[in-house]
Structure 1
């Protein structure tokens, strides 16, 4: 990215601010140390001028990352602002941050009338694990997408022609996300993988919904009995039942639109309800005290 070492270190340091762990600590203990450390180290001279509150500083840092160091947080946040809200929509949709499938963790997954997995490959990332990740996602998701910078589009378009590609484009005023290739629909779903990714109540619901009744079982044999029954469900039906269960999972997807644009991904990752989000804004709007 053409940055000297000091500038690169500053950007890397900034990128650690948007951490769920730090923000949970801020909410619980009013612990501003993770923000204060950055201000003391890099930005004491701007405090009291255009930056007065912690929220001012968060917006400033996000703007710096957006221009100079587009890390995974910036990609996820732009994806939510640009595509989830403007293209896919929130009605009848469940968006889940970081979803484990096999040996992989999809960055964002989405369930509505279909199931989609999104794997982010920023300019800072390697693609060495990509084939394994896509192979895992195909076991349960109908559509898989790679999200990357437009300068890397050609590389990822050649990777796997069944995978959709979404690119991040830098305009003069903002970041945009554009889907340049739609994913091919995958109609296969692996029952064993379904059993690994769903919760106990979810796999029991799938069995009951399809067979009409739950068999007699106890805590020792429940998993194996349900797995054997789920293996007997036709793939098309299992796919619908799987999507239906994951759409019921409790998330804060419907609230995403009310979150401040820099904090949408953080709100999703922390699964903030309205009360906690109001508290977060309250503590961030405090004047900076060093």
Structure 2
């Protein structure tokens, strides 16, 4: 396993949870010792900061892009009080990278310098079945190809520059031409489409369980698709993991791992464990 592959595994929601629960230190130590062994690393926070700097210079992977979007758009332009970010939403056999909901839903499809563009047209077609604003976030190596591909499309283009800033090269335009009620419905969890059905119709369908799912969709499909999209976005916005109980703890999280914590369902004890882990001397990690 290469050090870059290990780096990808270390900067994940699940692996960080393992670390703060004193598990799986092997990969973490391997990548620290391999990539930043000559730097001064006193504690685990120092190690993550150094690894992130390495990533910035040498390996701008999907996590790096996603973390940059969270820092500069969710936290920089909007706030966690008004906007919800969701990741990895399955849509028509595709996985949407990042969605920000603030009045409207804005898709951010990431194409790093490590990716190819083969599936991009198919992915964008799928996302427009559920959301009206779609952006492709990429780097300079893909910029010309992406620009040509999207020349006559409503899709926005955001460039992650070599300096780590986000530059809007083309603004996303609203497009509702292929919105699909079935695709929107399939994004929802059971309690979410029940919430909408109850609110709109004042009741849930009285059918046996085998027909219940289809019966709910049949009722909701009677709505205008844009109206249905509005209800769907409202339900999705409620999925935020950051609330008044954990906001102050979240605000103290280092920028290098901000998105990992944002997408985790941390309890107060988890925030305490994370803080303890970051403050722990790296040499004490076993």
State the TM-score, normalized to the length of structure 2: 0.88
2:109 corresponds to which of 93, 99, 119: 119
Pick from 47, 60, 63: which aligns with 2:50? 60
Contact 1:93 1:111 in 2 (8 A): yes
Deviation at 1:151, TM superposition (A): 4.1
Q: Is the 8 A contact 1:95 1:251 kept in 2?
A: no
The one of 12, 15, 20 aligned to 2:8: 15
Equivalents in 2 of 1:114, 1:83: separation in Å? 14
1:179 matched residue in structure 2: 168
Q: Is the 8 A contact 1:145 1:165 kept in 2?
A: yes
Deviation string for 1:182-216 (max 9, x for gaps)?
21212253111122110111111122222232232
Query: Equivalents in 1 of 2:263, 2:280: separation in Å?
Result: 23
Taking the aligned partners of 1:113 and 1:212, their CA distance within structure 2 comes to 25
Q: Is the 8 A contact 1:166 1:179 kept in 2?
A: yes
Query: Quick one: distance in 1 between partners of 2:32 and 2:176?
Result: 51
Secondary structure of 1:108's aligned partner:
strand
Of residues 257-266 and 87-96 in structure 1, the stretch that sits farther from structure 2 once superposed is 87-96
Partner of 1:162: 154
Deviation at 1:257, TM superposition (A): 4.3
SS in 2 for 1:88: coil
The aligned residue for residue 256 of structure 2 is 262
2:270 to 265, 272, 276: 276
The Cα of 1:28 is off from its aligned counterpart by 2.6
Q: Is the 8 A contact 1:30 1:283 kept in 2?
A: no
Supply the distance in 2 between the matched residues of 1:170 and 1:278 (Cα, whole angstroms).
Answer: 35
Give the aligned CA root-mean-square deviation in angstroms. 2.2
Partner Cα separation in structure 2 for residue 186 and residue 257 of structure 1 = 35
Q: Deviations over 1:93-128 (max 9, x none)?
A: 111121111111111112221011111000110111
Equivalent residue number for residue 140 of structure 1: 130
How many positions carry a matched residue from both structures? 277
2:21 maps to 28
Q: Does 1:194 align with 2:184?
A: yes
Unaligned runs of 5+ in 1: 1-8
Residue of structure 2 in register with 1:150 after alignment: 140
In the TM superposition, residue 138 of structure 1 has moved relative to its aligned partner by: 0.6
Partner SS, residue 183 of structure 2? helix
Q: 2:71 aligns with which of 58, 66, 81?
A: 81
